[in-house]
Amino acid sequence: MSFEPRDPTTPPTPGQPPAESSRESPAGTPLPPPNPAHKRQTPLPVSVVHQVQDAVGKLLGRPPHTIRGLQNNIVWREGVQVMRMDLHCHTEVSHDCRTALRDIPGWLLRTNTRVMAVTDHDQFRGGPELQQLVRDLGLDDRLSIICGEEITTSEGELIGLFLQDRIPPKLTPEETVREIKAQGGLVLLQHGFDPLKRYRLRPEATERIKDDIDIVETFNSRLSRHHWNREAARWGEVHGHLPQSAGSDAHTLRDIGEAWVETPFRLIHTPDDLLAALRIGQVAGHWTHPVYAYGRKQWRTFNGQFRREE
């Protein structure tokens, strides 16, 4: 099924994040300044970057960018429309990823990935920008974008979902959790049990914040061994039957949707919507060895210089 994009002048719905970030932590103690290592990305809105890319492309005689692949791939299982949710994805806002935001909606429709959480490394703006793009295309009745961030704490990484604003890196895990909760967000523990993941949350820290973890990722497509996913599932069971999620940890467009939770189709607007969907969902995915995945990403990035992903 194909359809025409909606008039892009449609006014945005409320709930936009505040433009200016507050440097006060909820407890009132001032936060340390952001780590300069995480400011490598240009602070320009992605839409402006796209305009510059288009202008340069025009000068070089390249064909204009078009949003392709808006095939609404609806999947039914026993008479019920189902969807996939991928809660751990990176975009061009991450320093190590080049997936253009404007290529994502078409890919999501094509792969029936109706819910995607944008979790860029220590960056937040990709989520709101993708949400706006989805609204402008008139796709907000079929795709749900969750604004999140993969946050580097002083003892490894944690994901915050349903955030309103960026959370700076290098806070302690406890401070990070407090920031996420103060924004009404959910704490997701991703790849926490793979000892070869350099940035996994340290086991001592996991133990200290375990009561504040809302979701545990029990399928990550990029673990060194699939065995560690089962370890995560066991841990989630022991610690209060936590809702389980899946994350592709995608760093290229085609990796988005490689891991998923399948549920009947619904729109996800709030943390409660998501938790309810996860509780009835089925976790699944494709596991790829990270060394192979890295080589593939380099090839796709190189190849993408000459040919757009279809």
Closest CB 22 distance from Zn ion, rounded Å? 25
**Which residue number has the CB closest to Zn ion?**
249
Picking from 143, 140, 150, 142, the residue whose alpha carbon sits closest to that of residue 118 is: 150
Residues in the chain: 310
Number of residues that bind Zn ion (CB under 5 A): 2
Q: Of 92 and 249, which CB lies nearer to Zn ion in the complex structure?
A: 249
Q: Of 98 and 266, which CB lies nearer to Zn ion in the complex structure?
A: 98
**By CB under 5 A, residue 217 contacts Zn ion:** no
Site string for Zn ion, 158-177 (x = CB under 5 A): --------------------
Please give the Cα distance from 16 to 163 (Å, whole number): 11
Q: Tell me the one-letter amino acid at 206.
A: T
Q: Of 118 and 139, which CB lies nearer to Zn ion in the complex structure?
A: 118
**b/e map 264-294, b = 16+ CB within 10 Å:** ebbebeebebbeebbeebebebebbebeebe
**By CB under 5 A, residue 249 contacts Zn ion:** yes
Integer CA distances (angstroms), 251 to 100, 232, 293, 300, in order: 11, 22, 9, 10
Span of 14-22, 128-136, 143-151, 292-300 interacting with Zn ion by CB under 5 A = 143-151
Q: Of 124 and 142, which CB lies nearer to Zn ion in the complex structure?
A: 124
Can you tell me whether residue 161 is helix, strand or coil?
Answer: strand
Q: Of 140 and 150, which CB lies nearer to Zn ion in the complex structure?
A: 150
Closest CB 218 distance from Zn ion, rounded Å? 15
Closest CB 220 distance from Zn ion, rounded Å? 8
- Helical segments of the chain, H only: 46-59, 104-110, 126-136, 173-182, 203-209, 227-238, 271-280, 290-304
Return residues touching Zn ion (CB under 5 A): 150, 249
